């Protein structure tokens, strides 16, 4: 019901609150413009843009990894969570902006922001949240400085933000004079949407693959066989690790692993606000739903339903070998179905392939699961989870 195009409820007020409380937009910039959703959908799902973003992401991922990697040949103990976060976040910054925005201070600020962002949404008076607000403002200022550096010329590495900004000036916010800060806050929102959920899902996919021996064996064999067939050698892939869209699409088993990780770890809620009273019937009971209420759906109710997913707590990519997954709400659905879903899967595949080809991981502790609240926010892992990493090739 929540995902249907129902005139009784809307997504707008939730977005309004998120923009205002979490990201710090000024009031006149908080109103949800439906055209923005169509813009993202057209852009991110078009083959041309998806291919461009995906190729750039793969190159940026390998580049950022080489910065963070320890000398090869040595086994090391790391926080996989931190490794995933730094590499994936900085790769996203490179793909959307450029590498000049990547600094240890900017990455660290994002790490601190996402650790407490739910508090901003929770209604706690901002008076008590000065730390996180300072962190947010530091990031917005860094974006303003980055923008000022380029003056009138656009420096976005991808057309996505350039087109978005053009839309703001000519279509969505023509009623107000946009300041540099307004545009920087908008940049921050999309940087957040495109990196936070994705790196968590990279973490969980790798965690489950590496702790389920038969899955690891099948996943690794599927990648190695593919590389042996499509590249002259694995060494050639290691020197030029860029998969085409079709080659990523062909990774059926790895995609099933990602689907399972999404099922198990998406606890993000789907929000809609009621704009007209209406009656709703469930199993013969009629409910009056009043204007002004917020409806919240937790996908976990479906994702852990044993009728839909037998042995729902088990990580089992083979459950999708016979039938498609029709109940997964990780990316929402209906009118607001996440427009970044295909790009997100390609980003996660990039990290998963990279690890499977190059690294053995040995988890020292089971990750402690934390909890995030927000649209598409998955269960958080404890960054202190340590993993032994050593080069497999």
CB 269 within 8 A of CB 276: no
Tell me the window of 102-110, 146-154, 276-284, 327-335 that interacts with ligand HEM (CB under 6 A). 327-335
Question: Site size for ligand HEM, by CB under 6 A?
Answer: 25
- Min. distance of Cβ 322 from ligand HEM in angstroms? 24
Is residue 13 a contact point for ligand HEM (CB under 6 A)?
no
Closer to ligand HEM by Cβ: residue 58 or 198: 198
Q: What mask, x for binding ligand HEM by CB under 6 A, covers residues 253 to 282?
A: -------------x-x-x------------
Is residue 372 a contact point for ligand HEM (CB under 6 A)?
no
Is residue 338 a contact point for ligand HEM (CB under 6 A)?
yes
Enumerate residues 19-48 that contact ligand HEM by CB under 6 A.
37, 40, 44
- Selection from 262, 258, 264 nearest residue 355 by Cα: 258
The three-state secondary structure class of 154 is coil
Is residue 158 a contact point for ligand HEM (CB under 6 A)?
no
Closer to ligand HEM by Cβ: residue 38 or 124: 38
Is residue 331 a contact point for ligand HEM (CB under 6 A)?
yes
DSSP 357-373: HHEEEEESSPPPB----
Is residue 193 a contact point for ligand HEM (CB under 6 A)?
yes
- Min. distance of Cβ 375 from ligand HEM in angstroms? 5
Is residue 330 a contact point for ligand HEM (CB under 6 A)?
yes
DSSP 124-136: --GGGGHHHHHHH
Structure tokens at 9: 């409820």
How many Å apart are CA 385 and CA 107, to the nearest integer? 19
The values of phi and psi at residue 345, to 5°, are -60, -40
CB 188 within 8 A of CB 143: yes
How many Å apart are CA 206 and CA 53, to the nearest integer? 22
DSSP lists the bridge partners of residue 369 as 381
Tell me the window of 70-78, 127-135, 287-295, 339-347 that interacts with ligand HEM (CB under 6 A). 339-347
Tokens 């998969």 belong to which residue? 243
Closer to ligand HEM by Cβ: residue 79 or 297: 297
- Min. distance of Cβ 360 from ligand HEM in angstroms? 25
Is residue 317 a contact point for ligand HEM (CB under 6 A)?
no
Closer to ligand HEM by Cβ: residue 367 or 376: 376
Closer to ligand HEM by Cβ: residue 24 or 376: 376
Structure tokens at 8: 């009784």
By CB under 6 A, name the one of 197, 218, 267, 350 that touches ligand HEM.
197
DSSP 59-102: HHHHHHHHHHPPPTT--EEEEHHHHHHHHHHHHHHHHHS-GGG-
- Min. distance of Cβ 125 from ligand HEM in angstroms? 27
How many Å apart are CA 258 and CA 247, to the nearest integer? 16
Is residue 350 a contact point for ligand HEM (CB under 6 A)?
no
Element (H, E) at 239: helix 234-239
How many Å apart are CA 347 and CA 198, to the nearest integer? 7
Structure tokens at 376: 């598409």
Is residue 374 a contact point for ligand HEM (CB under 6 A)?
no
Closer to ligand HEM by Cβ: residue 113 or 343: 343
Closer to ligand HEM by Cβ: residue 202 or 227: 202
Tokens 């005139």 belong to which residue? 7
Is residue 208 a contact point for ligand HEM (CB under 6 A)?
no
Q: In what order do the strands lie in the sheet with 294-297?
A: 9-10, 270-274, 294-297
Closer to ligand HEM by Cβ: residue 40 or 380: 40
CB 275 within 8 A of CB 383: no
Q: Which residues bind ligand HEM (CB under 6 A)?
A: 3, 11, 37, 40, 44, 193-194, 197-198, 201, 266, 268, 270, 330-333, 336, 338-340, 343-344, 375-376
């Amino acid at each position: 019901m929540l995902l249907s195009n129902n005139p009784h409820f809307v997504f707008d007020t939730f977005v309004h609150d998120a923009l205002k409380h979490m990201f710090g937009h000024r009031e006149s910039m908080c109103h949800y413009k439906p055209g923005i959703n169509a813009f993202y959908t057209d852009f991110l799902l078009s083959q041309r843009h998806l291919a461009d973003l995906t190729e750039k992401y793969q190159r940026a991922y390998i580049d950022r990894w080489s910065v963070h990697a320890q000398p090869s040949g040595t086994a090391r103990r790391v926080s996989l969570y931190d490794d995933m976060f730094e590499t994936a976040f900085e790769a996203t910054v490179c793909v959307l902006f450029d590498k000049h925005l990547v600094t240890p201070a900017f990455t660290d600020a994002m790490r601190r922001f996402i650790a407490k962002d739910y508090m901003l949404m929770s209604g706690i008076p901002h008076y008590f949240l000065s730390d996180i607000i300072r962190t947010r403002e530091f990031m917005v200022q860094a974006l303003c400085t980055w923008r000022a550096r380029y003056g009138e010329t656009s420096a976005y590495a991808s057309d996505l933000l350039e087109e978005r900004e053009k839309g703001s000036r000519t279509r969505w916010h023509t009623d107000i004079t946009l300041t540099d800060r307004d545009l920087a806050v908008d940049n921050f929102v999309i940087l957040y949407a495109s990196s936070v959920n994705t790196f968590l899902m990279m973490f969980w996919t790798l965690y489950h693959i590496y702790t389920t021996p038969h899955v690891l064996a099948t996943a690794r064999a599927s990648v190695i066989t593919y590389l042996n067939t499509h590249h002259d050698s694995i060494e050639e892939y290691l020197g030029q690790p860029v998969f085409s869209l079709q080659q990523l699409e062909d990774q059926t088993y790895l995609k099933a692993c990602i689907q399972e990780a999404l099922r198990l770890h998406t606890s993000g809620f789907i929000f809609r606000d009621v704009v007209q009273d209406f009656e709703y019937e469930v199993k013969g009971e009629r409910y009056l739903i009043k204007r002004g209420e917020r409806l919240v759906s937790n996908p976990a109710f479906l994702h852990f339903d044993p009728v839909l997913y037998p042995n729902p707590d088990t990580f089992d990519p083979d459950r999708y070998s016979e039938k498609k997954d029709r109940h997964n709400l990780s990316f929402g659905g209906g009118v607001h179905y996440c427009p970044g879903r295909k790009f997100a899967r390609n980003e996660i595949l990039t990290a998963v392939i990279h690890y499977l080809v190059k690294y053995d991981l040995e988890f020292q502790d089971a990750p402690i699961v934390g909890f995030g609240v927000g649209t598409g926010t998955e269960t958080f892992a404890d960054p202190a989870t340590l993993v032994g990493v050593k080069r497999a090739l």
